[in-house]
Structure 1
Amino acid sequence: CSSLGIEHERIPCRTPNLNAHIESFHRILEDECLGRCEFGSYEEAYRTNPFLSKQF
């Protein structure tokens, strides 16, 4: 991550309001994609959804 200029930041436990934007992203990703399909592996999920392979 550091090679991409991404800095990891830790927040206190049980404080989702401190990173609401990423919590919202994860909820939408789960509802719109991951919750609708059953994948046998991460590789299968990446092949099925090009967005995932670019992000992760």
Structure 2
Amino acid sequence: MPRKKTTAPAPPSCPVCQGSGEVSRTVHVGRKRRAVGEQTGLCLNCLGSGEAPTA
């Protein structure tokens, strides 16, 4: 009888960055704070790993 292959469940993804490890922030310039684009950075919730923190 062949054995069933089982894999470990994937760790839950980070709710802030949805598992990508990066988050985007809108960049504002000028006196009227006009939005000109987005800048990506490291997710501070999971520190770029993309997995949900366990603490």
Larger proportion of helix: 1
Highest RCO, 1 vs 2 (Cα 8 Å, sep ≥ 6): 2
User: What TM-score results when the alignment is normalised by the length of structure 2?
Assistant: 0.26
Larger proportion of strand: 2
